[in-house]
Amino acid sequence: MTEHAKHHLHESPFSMTSVLIVLAILSAVGGFLGVPHALGGHNWIATWLGLEAHAVDAGAEALERNLAFASAGLAAASAFLATLIYLKFPGLPKALAEKSRFLYRLLKEKFYVDEFYDFVIVRPVRAFSDRFLAQDMDQGLIDGLLVNGSARFASWMGSLVSVLQGGLANNYVFYFLLGVGGFIFFMVVR
C-alpha cells in the first residue's frame, strides 16, 4: 500500500458500523434459527415460513448432514494442509508450481470460471445494454421522444398560442370578431 493510500485510511463512522453490527447479530441469530433437523436444529425459520409442507425421508436428511460435514471437513483439511505446507516447507509451493505449470495456472486462474462468466454472461449483457438499452431505449425513446419530445411539443403549442397573444388590441378585436362570426355561421348552418 502506498503512503498516499495509507494517509487516506480511516475507520468507518458509527452510523455505518452500527448498522453492520445489527446486521451481523441478526445474521447470526437467523443462522441458528435455520439449522436443519439433520444437523440437530429445529429449523424454526422454515417452519415459520411454511417451507416444510411435505415429509422428508430419512435418506435425504442423512445426505444433507453428510454433505454438510464433508464440505466442512474438506475446508478444514485444506486449511490444515496449506498451513502445514507454508509453515513447515516454505519452498515446496514454488517447486510444485514450477513442476506442474498447467495445474498451477489452472488453480491460479480459478479454473477460468471468471473468464467463462465474462465471455458468456457479462459481454453479451454489456453489448445488449450499450446498444439497445443505452442507445435505442434511453437516447431514442426516453430522451428523444419523452423528454425532448414533450419539450418540443410544449414549445410548438406555445408558439401557436403566442400568435394569439401578441399584445396588440386590434388583433384581439379581430380574433374576437372572427370567433363571433364563426359562432353565428355555426348557429345558422345548424
**Domain residue ranges of the chain, discontinuous segments joined by +:** 3-108, 125-189
DSSP 8-state assignment for residue 167: S
Least confident piece of the model among 81-90, 123-132, 156-165: 156-165
Single pTM value for the model: 0.44
pLDDT > 80? residue 16: yes
The Cα 106–Cα 100 span in angstroms is: 10
Question: Does the pLDDT value for residue 52 go beyond 70?
Answer: no
Average pLDDT, the chain: 89
CA angle 127, 132, 136 (to 5 degrees): 145
148: its cell numbers: 425532448
Residue 128 has pLDDT above 80, yes or no: yes
Is pLDDT of 33 > 90?
A: no
The residue whose grid cell reads 435505442 is 136
